[in-house]
Amino acid sequence: MIRLEKVSKSYPTSTRPALDGVDVDIEKGEFVFLVGSSGSGKSTFLRLLLKEEVPTAGRVHVAGKDLSRLSNWKIPALRRSIGCVFQDFRLLPNKTVHQNVAFALEVIGKPQATIEKVVPEVLDLVGLDGKAGRMPDELSGGEQQRVAVARAFVNRPMILIADEPTGNLDPSTSIGIMKLLDRINRTGTTVVMATHDAAIVDSMRRRVVELSQGKVVRDQTRGVYGYGA
Amino acid sequence: MRAQFILSEIGIGLRRNLTMTVAVILTVTITLTMAGVGWLVHKQVDVMKDYWYDKVEVTIFLCGTNSSSGNCAGKEVTAEQRDQLNADLHATPQVEQVFYESKREAYERFKVQFKDSPDLVRNVSADAMPESFRVKLKNPEQFQVVASAYQDRPGVDAVQDLKKLLDPIFKLLGVGQKVAYIFAGVMLVAATILISNTIRVAAFSRRRETGIMRLVGASNLYIQTPFLLEGAVAGLVGAVGACGLVVIGKWYVVDQQLRPLLTFTNYIGWSEVVATIPVLLLSGVLLCGLASFFTIRRHLRV
Ligand SMILES: Nc1ncnc2c1ncn2[C@@H]1O[C@H](COP(=O)(O)OP(=O)(O)O)[C@@H](O)[C@H]1O
Ligand SMILES: [Mg+2]
């Protein structure tokens, strides 16, 4: 589903490469934690999958496509097959919960009838039924992140990318979000989540890929956050 | 692509940016008005040329008792001189037709021309009017040949060409046209900068929306069209304003002011004005649409 071959990425403004010879292969339906300290290259890894950035060297394959050979006008189609969740939720503050989720479908031209059908379904799935009419600032952080997950998943993408989705949440709220991501993963969706929340990684016992200074230093199935476990 | 969604996005964008949108609309209005005025002045010159070049004739005034030119030396033209001139004019190859106008005929024409000023007519006698040959040339451009051949002949007071009288007017109109075009050019630069800035501000103020749109896989077309249409709509509104000003200008300046004041010529009609309207509208939309397009290309990347 996702394959990186000797991928390096150097930003023009920095001396040290953000990613350095990364080889990772992720199967369909896997749940993968991308761990490592701040600046280790986790976000860069995820941006490469969306072709928001292009690698300086190496190849990135997503859903059977070689992204280096993907022409620009096909990028939207790639992104429709990938849902994204971020630490800062990225909701539109002047739209309701329902409108925020519907927006993601409207802008890719889905018919109104479909939108009216699938938005309540996905809000139900993330546990926000009854809050469809709320504005984002009337929700708790955990609820806002649920809206973001609903928006990422409403189009039933093959891959869900989450960049420190629990970074702004307290531990008990984080557990709720992780349960949600786990449920989404169980529908067959491949989940790649960057985090440096040790407790979460340790409790989930899923595959862990650790980055350090842009290099993969560990790739472990059913791993934990730190060494020695 | 859903029209309702796009329309509401355009509306939101234009209102969010109201002061800049108004500035864009006004600049576009002025730009296109100036371009329209320049074009209509050009048309006016054409109309005048058509009207006058048809009628252009050379007038050879003959010496009278009160002629001032040295050629006359204070003496009136003699009958022999007049006959000689008449015969020579008929023999000149550049000449198409020759009319002789006597003092009496000149006086009659004068009375008709100034029938609104009886005082003036009362103070001028038929004897004070100059007699003349009115010469129609085969080609009005050949005035100089005829003038130099006749202006020093005995009995000739002066040679006058209508075209020569009109030339300063054409020059003046030419200058007016240039000024209008230069002004339009300068305003065009201002308009382009303003549109580009407005779209940039619009793109910045909606970066959250466009960021999410990119992330969920909205096509470039879908992301960019609202900005493009926003520019085009502002351009269209500005162009409509310019059309209004051109129409009002033609009605007020040409029909109300000039036509009664300067009766010696024809003026552009409504057909010339109407012909400019689609051009102005299209220019407004294209100008703003293109300026928006290139701004978006630079500031809303994939
Ligand atoms: N847009 C950028 N321009 C320049 N350098 C960047 C950019 N994004 C990230 N970096 C650098 O790349 C390295 C990896 O960053 P990042 O992928 O954000 O790591 P992480 O998400 O693990 O904190 C860092 O050294 C960071 O400074
Ligand atoms: Mg990061």
Q: What is the pLDDT of residues B13-64, one digit of tens each?
A: 777 778 888 988 999 999 999 999 988 988 888 888 777 766 667 888 888 8
Measured between beta carbons, the chain B residues lying within 8 angstroms of A159 are: none
Name residue, tokens 């938005």. A119
pLDDT at A167 over 80: yes
Provide the pLDDT confidence category of residue A228 given band limits of 50, 70 and 90: very low
Pocket of ligand 1 (CB under 6 A): A 11, 13-14, 18, 36, 38-44
Whether residue A155 lies within 8 A of chain B, CB to CB, comes out as yes
Are B208 and A90 inside 8 Å of each other by CB? yes
Residue range B269-296: mean pLDDT, rounded: 92
Inter-residue contact B143 to B169 (CB < 8 Å)? no
- Atom number of ligand 1 nearest to Cα A16: 25
Inter-residue contact B199 to B18 (CB < 8 Å)? no
Residue range B230-245: mean pLDDT, rounded: 94
Q: What is the number of other CB atoms lying within 10 angstroms of the CB of residue A198?
A: 12
The sign one gets for the Cα dihedral B243, B246, B250, B256 is: positive
Query: What is the predicted ipTM?
Result: 0.90
Measured between beta carbons, the chain A residues lying within 8 angstroms of B211 are: 90
Closest chain A C-alpha to B294 CA, distance in angstroms: 18
How many Cα atoms sit within 13 Å of B196 on the Cβ side? 13
Closest ligand to residue A36's CA: 1
The per-residue pLDDT for B19 is: 85
Are B215 and A50 inside 8 Å of each other by CB? yes
Phi (first) and psi of residue A142, to 5 degrees? -65, -40
pLDDT at A139 over 90: yes
> In angstroms, how far is CA A116 from the centroid of its own chain?
25
Are B217 and A109 inside 8 Å of each other by CB? no
Measured between beta carbons, the chain A residues lying within 8 angstroms of B215 are: 50, 79, 84, 90
Inter-residue contact B184 to B192 (CB < 8 Å)? no
Q: What is the Cα–Cα distance from A23 to A9, expressed in whole angstroms?
A: 13
Closest ligand to residue A38's CA: 1
Q: Which residue in the set A75, A107, A112 is minimally distant from B213, CB to CB?
A: A107
Whether residue B15 lies within 8 A of chain A, CB to CB, comes out as no
| For chain B, percent of residues with pLDDT exceeding 90 | 21
Residue range B285-296: mean pLDDT, rounded: 91
pLDDT tens for A40-83 read: 999 999 999 999 999 999 999 999 999 999 998 899 999 999 99
- Atom number of ligand 1 nearest to Cα A164: 21
Q: Which residue of B has its CA nearest to A111?
A: B2
Q: Which residue in the set B1, B2, B208 is minimally distant from A92, CB to CB?
A: B208
| For chain A, percent of residues with pLDDT exceeding 90 | 89
H-helix or E-strand spanning residue B24: helix B18-53
Asked whether the whole model's pTM tops 0.90, one would answer: no
Which of A7, A9, A10, A14 has most ligand 1 atoms within 8 Å of its beta carbon, as the pocket-test mutant? A14
CA of B113 to the centre of ligand 1 (A): 89
Q: Which residue in the set B212, B217, B223 is minimally distant from A90, CB to CB?
A: B212
Of B203, B196, B192, B194, residue with least CA distance to B16: B203
pLDDT tens for A199-226 read: 999 999 999 999 999 999 999 888 888 7
Q: Give the closest residue (by CA) to ligand 1 atom 5.
A: A11
Evaluate whether the domain defined by B55-162 bears CATH number 3.40.50.720.
no
Provide the pLDDT confidence category of residue A173 given band limits of 50, 70 and 90: very high
Which of A7, A10, A11, A20 has most ligand 1 atoms within 8 Å of its beta carbon, as the pocket-test mutant? A11
Measured between beta carbons, the chain B residues lying within 8 angstroms of A80 are: 216-217
| All structural domains of chain B with their residue ranges | 2-52+167-300, 55-162
- Which residues are CB-neighbours of B84 under 8 A, at least 6 positions away? none
